[in-house]
Amino acid sequence: MMMLVNCSGCRTPLQLPPGAGSIRCAVCQAITQIAEPRAVPPPPNTGAPHPSHHVAPPPPSPYSHAPPGLPPSPHGRKKAVICGISYKFSRHELKGCINDAKCMRFLLINKFQFPADSILMLTEEETDPYRTPTKHNIRMAMYWLVNGCQPGDSLVFHFSGHGSRQRNYNGDEVDGYDETLCPVDFETQGMIVDDEINTAIVRPLPRGVKLHAIIDSCHSGTVLDLPFLCRMNRSGQYVWEDHRPRSGVWKGSNGGEVISISGCDDDQTSADTAALSQITSTGAMTYCFIQAIERGQASTYGSMLNSMRSAIRNVGNGGGTGGIAGGGIVTSLLTMLVSGGSVVGGGLRQEPQLTACEPFDVYMKPFSL
């Protein structure tokens, strides 16, 4: 059984193969040496041998090769982590986030041929304690997502839940704030800050690996801390803003391609609403993302972003989005989900954002997962 050890450099959890005496961290490249178990000599002058003690191994990893808690083993080149958090029975409760998670899983399997057992679901409906969306479990899931990735891999990280931001004091944020994701236990364990997300799933990616982050939460525009943001106006014209920190620290990948599609700008909030699907509550961004794909409006990143923004803007203007017109594999799934929820009053005021490691022509680059 593989053991879990913390990197001696950045403290990232690492899976130690059986019999290995050291391991190199994919995040910071530090080498962690594993101490050999050794007996402790008996104390002097006791007249009796002291029981031998051994260095205790770390607790079994939930990501070891033994159930329960076994994450999906990737088959082929596609892996995904999907987090949907409702914060049930709290004052922060959301109605649509678990629906978002189910729909995203359905989309990845049926539209983009992700193997079902290569998708790790983290929601409050999961019975496995290692798959509840706690801060620790989300951290471990992010590590699992990028661990062992090879050129040709396609990875997806989807999060639907609360997001926030907090004052940044080291000067590496253009707007002076760090963006955050809120795990189900954020009130006791704290939030996951963009710097940590960047370190966990962006910086380790080698050339040839592709990662898409789909983040449906408030203040999520630059939550992966990627160096460039696509600033697009309502006419579809765009420029790439340089968000590289003044310190010169590189927040991009190790050569891999990383693109984040988020629900709103850093200073905006994202809606949890029934106004879009007219069936059940969903995250507005997740619904519009899926709808753009199903309606053939996501051939490029630019066409997708325009389609998503138009759908949300039409609701905000009282024009509606046509509900489930046009059908589709996921909107048909929505009809089978039963959930409460109400329309957000006053329309939706959010603009989905696109960030990336490197600028590109959004109207020429084909979209695919």
Better-scored residue on pLDDT, 133 or 65: 133
DSSP output for 254-276:
BB-EEEEEESS-TT----EESTT
Report the C-alpha gap between 85 and 158 in whole angstroms. Answer: 11
Architecture of domain 78-356: 3-Layer(aba) Sandwich (3.40)
Q: What is the pLDDT of residue 343?
A: 28
Q: Which of 3-17, 125-139, 323-337, 341-355 has the lowest mean pLDDT?
A: 323-337
Determine whether 218 is an active site residue.
yes
Residues 297/337, Cβ–Cβ less than 8 Å: no
Whether residue 113 is predicted with pLDDT greater than 60 in this model: the reply is yes
Q: What is the pLDDT of residue 261?
A: 92
Q: 158-168: per-residue pLDDT in tens?
A: 999 988 776 66
Q: What percent of the chain clears pLDDT 70, i.e. is strictly above it?
A: 64
Single-letter code of the amino acid located at 61: S
Q: Which of 36-40, 130-134, 156-160, 262-266 has the lowest mean pLDDT?
A: 36-40
DSSP output for 87-101:
-TTSTT--SSHHHHH
Whether residue 11 is predicted with pLDDT greater than 80 in this model: the reply is no
Q: 229-273: per-residue pLDDT in tens?
A: 999 898 999 999 998 888 788 889 999 999 999 876 545 444 444
Q: Residue range 166-175: average pLDDT?
A: 60
Report the C-alpha gap between 236 and 113 in whole angstroms. Answer: 30
Report the C-alpha gap between 224 and 212 in whole angstroms. Answer: 11
Determine whether 264 is an active site residue.
no
Report the C-alpha gap between 348 and 312 in whole angstroms. Answer: 6
Q: How far apart are the first and last CA of the chain?
A: 33
The catalytically annotated residue of 149, 218, 230, 288 is 218
Q: What is the pLDDT of residue 270?
A: 45
The catalytically annotated residue of 7, 149, 158, 162 is 162
Cα–Cα nearest to 148, from 311, 232, 263, 24: 24
Cα–Cα nearest to 369, from 289, 280, 312, 272: 289
Residue 313, phi-psi category: left (phi > 0), alpha (psi -120 to 50), beta (remainder):
alpha
All structural domains of the chain with their residue ranges: 3-33, 78-356
Buried b (16+ CB within 10 A) or exposed e, 201-210: bbbbbeeebb
Q: Residue range 187-204: average pLDDT?
A: 92
Whether residue 62 is predicted with pLDDT greater than 90 in this model: the reply is no
- The enclosing H or E element of 31 equals strand 31-33
Q: Residue range 130-143: average pLDDT?
A: 94
Better-scored residue on pLDDT, 207 or 270: 207
Report the C-alpha gap between 249 and 245 in whole angstroms. Answer: 6
Q: What is the pLDDT of residue 74?
A: 52
